[in-house]
Amino acid sequence: MIVRLLIGLCFILSLDLQAQVWSPDGQSIAFFYIHKIEDIYIVNRDGSQFRILDQHPERDFAPQWSPNGKHLLFTSVRDGHHEIYRIRSDGKRLKRLTETNADSEDAHFSPDGKSFVFASNRSGNQQLYIANRKGKNIGR
């Protein structure tokens, strides 16, 4: 067990990692790393089950876990600019949560998981916005 953990941690540390975040239960780590394109990965804390969350030819980055560990928020440029997406931790049910011509990024769930905060320049200046977990009722 200890050897497997050390091997897994060495593998993780050898990557060009960005934005590593622990799952709420402490059993998994979500991160993005830069290879040909930035993608989001999840790996168990012992280094096992290294898997891509949602492979896409555009950049996905800045993952954040929901408080219950069932979903992740992340920023993607798959629509030509920065938008916020939510996906289940098993890689299913991808949903775009923001839809503007402005950039929206760096989302974080509220402690109860019912809303999220994110940064956007939709007003012309970079400001914080809050939306419910479905991306509706966006306000400053």
pLDDT for res 128: 95
The C-alpha atoms of residue 82 and residue 101 are separated, in whole angstroms, by 9
Residue range of the domain that includes 52: 2-132
> Does residue 3 surpass a pLDDT of 50?
no
66-114 pLDDT tens trace:
999 999 999 999 888 999 999 999 999 999 999 888 999 999 999 999 9
pLDDT for res 35: 63
pLDDT for res 91: 92
Contact 72, 86 (CB under 8 A): yes
Any domain includes 74 = yes
Contact 98, 131 (CB under 8 A): yes
pLDDT for res 83: 96
Q: Where are the alpha helices (DSSP H) in the chain?
A: 2-14
Cα dihedral 74, 94, 122, 80, rounded to 10, equals: 90
DSSP 125: S
Any domain includes 139 = no
> Does residue 16 surpass a pLDDT of 50?
no
Any domain includes 140 = no
18-66 pLDDT tens trace:
568 999 999 999 988 766 678 898 999 998 998 888 888 888 999 999 9
Any domain includes 96 = yes
- Tokens 């804390």 found at: 45
Contact 78, 34 (CB under 8 A): no
pLDDT for res 80: 87
Any domain includes 127 = yes
Tally the domains of the chain: 1
Any domain includes 138 = no
The C-alpha atoms of residue 32 and residue 49 are separated, in whole angstroms, by 15
The domain that contains 117 carries what CATH number? 2.120.10.30
Residue 133 CB contacts under 8 Å (≥ 6 apart), including other chains? 86, 109, 113, 114, 115, 116
Any domain includes 46 = yes
Any domain includes 99 = yes
- Cross-strand partners of 127: 120
